[in-house]
Amino acid sequence: MTKTKLKIITGNLKNYSIDSPRSGVTHPMSERIRGAIFNALGDISNLSILDAYAGSGTLGIESISRGAKKAILLENDSMAIKTIKQTIDNLKLNKQVQLFPIDNLKWLELNNDTFDIIFLDPPYSKVNISSLLTLANIVTEGGVIVVSVPTLSVNQVTKKFKDFILIKKKSYGRAQVLFFRK
């Protein structure tokens, strides 16, 4: 399996290429989808970010490039962890980006942080709606949860996320991106 190069779209790290892990577990998000997500989010300066299924780390690093104050990346795939660590070191982002090589629900047991924006982009073969909801509950009041799931999971997600306001829904092939506000 060859590595895919993912580019940071804009901000102070614009055009930096990030390797996508050589793992069958992660699914790199295209620049088109990432661009649409960040355009929908608008100004994220000084916000705190959680990427609960980090994969390549691109969503968190793109957030930092666009002015977010910190990004927490959770990932438990060893290939992805290695790739993210290398990217954080190469970009000297150790003060702004923290990688936790742990299952996201285990991380929740050990932390009580809240976040302004939470990205939930699980491997499509392992979508667990209850886990997504548990992670979404640590968003700040007025914060945004961005959920990327296969089309088949959308109805289940919207039913489970009934305590959040669905503010936007976008379709990209087999991927659906849902934006919720607390």
pLDDT tens readout for residues 26-65: 567 888 899 999 999 999 999 999 999 999 999 999 999 9
User: Per-residue pLDDT averaged across 6-12, rounded?
Assistant: 89
| CATH (one of 2.40.160.210, 3.30.420.40, 3.40.50.150, 3.40.50.360) for 5-181 | 3.40.50.150
Listed by start position, the domains of the chain span 5-181
pLDDT score of 16 more than 90: no
- d(C-alpha 43, C-alpha 39), whole Å: 8
Q: Please give the Cα distance from 110 to 93 (Å, whole number).
A: 23
2 Cβ contact partners less than 8 Å away, ≥ 6 residues apart: 22
Residue 89, φ and ψ in degrees, nearest 5: -65, -45
Residue 1 has pLDDT above 70, yes or no: no
Question: In this predicted structure, what is the pLDDT of residue 31?
Answer: 87
HEC sequence for 128-144: CHHHHHHHHCCEEEEEE
